Amino acid sequence: MDYYNSVISIELDLSGIITEIKSSKLESLEIKLKTSAVHLFKGSAYQLFYDHLSKIINNELTLGFTGKLTNDEFAFVYMLKHPESISLFAILVDEDMSSLFDEMTNMNTEQVKTIRTLYQKLSRFKEPEDLLEEMMNINNELINAKKELDYKNKELFKLNNELQHLNYIDFLTKLPNRRKFFKDIYNKVEDSGYHLTMTDFNNFKLINDTFGHQKGDELLIYFAKHMNKLIEPYKGKLYRLGGDEFAILIKDDIEVDVQELFRQIDIKLLFFHDDISMSYGVVTVNNLNVNKAHRAEIKMHEADQLLFTMKQNYYDSHIKR
């Protein structure tokens, strides 16, 4: 299944109200901001949403649930709690996949019942031969059930990996997103220093206003493709933080001419439109200036200030359109 074209990604507050629609390509499903996400479901899924939302809020374990959406399609729904919000993902699934989690729950329940039955029978048997035979039968049942459960767990593991992947990917550019950036920067600086580059477009609004937002999206995808190729030799990582804002992390022990790097990307952008270029700001981050006491946003702001200075110089030296 093409998950990217059959996934809903939305943000909720801790009461289940929709605060942001990150991605939804399902025209048949109406999603409204500032309404409860429960309105996306029908039938028994309506109550399942509330049950799982309650578990998520109370930090209880939940593997997600399958249910019918208001457009009559089945979806697997997974929720992930953050300090002030909840990420909800819904992926359309076929009928077989929709029953996967119900089957696994039933199988686990049946195994618990079988073990309880074993203890009850142990107390009744007096002949060792009868007891041994019964134990062997029950053991065979448990082995068969485990084999089936292992198979279904593999399917679940694959689906869960896909969900984790979606949680950290920008749906337009397929780059790591803002959430992945913050996860990475704190982990990476524990072991090494990095050059953090904040960058965005000069005249991006011009593209949107002149050619429409679809052309603006094409520009973002075009930049992501070519910038990734340029930083690949330096083992750099490119992130889309939102809008036309991007970040790059490259180890500070790798020699890279950032000015030359952006000269090359500006040349690439000329093929897209001759008024498009990049402004950027670079700072060094490490475990001394990015840690629990010093948030990454502080160094990001420093890089942004350098970026804004460069951008102002650009506009001062070019004819404003």
More confidently predicted of 304 and 103: 304
- Domains in the chain: boundaries: 3-93, 100-167, 178-317
- Which band of pLDDT confidence, cut at 50, 70 and 90, is reported for residue 22? confident
Helix axes of 213-231 and 204-211: crossing angle, nearest 10 degrees: 140
Tell me the average pLDDT of the chain.
Answer: 84
pLDDT of residue 219: 96
Q: What is the pLDDT of residues 69-88, one digit of tens each?
A: 998 888 888 888 888 899 88
- Which band of pLDDT confidence, cut at 50, 70 and 90, is reported for residue 1? very low
Task: Please give the share of the chain, as a percent, with pLDDT higher than 90.
Answer: 52
pLDDT of residue 103: 67
pLDDT of residue 66: 85
Q: How far apart are CA 181 and CA 245, in angstroms?
A: 12
* pLDDT exceeds cutoff 70 at 32: yes
Residue 173: partners with Cβ closer than 8 Å, 6 or more residues away: 220, 221, 224, 240
Q: What is the pLDDT of residues 155-193, one digit of tens each?
A: 777 776 777 677 888 989 999 999 999 999 999 999 899
- Three-state secondary structure of 20-74: EEEEECCCCCCCCCCCEHHHHECCHHHHHHHHHHHHHHCCCCCCCEEEEECCCCE
pLDDT of residue 268: 95
Residue 52: partners with Cβ closer than 8 Å, 6 or more residues away: 62, 64, 65, 77, 79
Q: What is the pLDDT of residues 201-238, one digit of tens each?
A: 999 999 999 999 999 999 999 999 999 999 999 999 99
- Which band of pLDDT confidence, cut at 50, 70 and 90, is reported for residue 24? confident
Q: What is the pLDDT of residues 252-276, one digit of tens each?
A: 999 999 999 999 999 999 999 999 9
Mean local confidence (pLDDT), 37-46: 90
More confidently predicted of 28 and 42: 42
Q: What is the pLDDT of residues 83-131, one digit of tens each?
A: 889 988 888 877 666 566 666 656 655 655 665 565 565 555 555 445 4
pLDDT of residue 67: 85
Closest CA to 280 of 241, 247, 317, 252: 247
* pLDDT exceeds cutoff 60 at 35: yes
CATH topology of domain 3-93: Beta-Lactamase (3.30.450)
pLDDT of residue 13: 94
* pLDDT exceeds cutoff 90 at 240: yes
Q: How far apart are CA 20 and CA 32, in angstroms?
A: 9
Strand stretches in the chain, DSSP E = 7-12, 18-24, 65-68, 74-81, 86-92, 194-202, 237-242, 245-251, 277-285
Q: How far apart are CA 25 and CA 29, in angstroms?
A: 9
* pLDDT exceeds cutoff 60 at 135: no
* pLDDT exceeds cutoff 60 at 8: yes
* pLDDT exceeds cutoff 50 at 51: yes
Q: How far apart are CA 321 and CA 317, in angstroms?
A: 12
CATH topology of domain 178-317: Alpha-Beta Plaits (3.30.70)
More confidently predicted of 61 and 86: 86
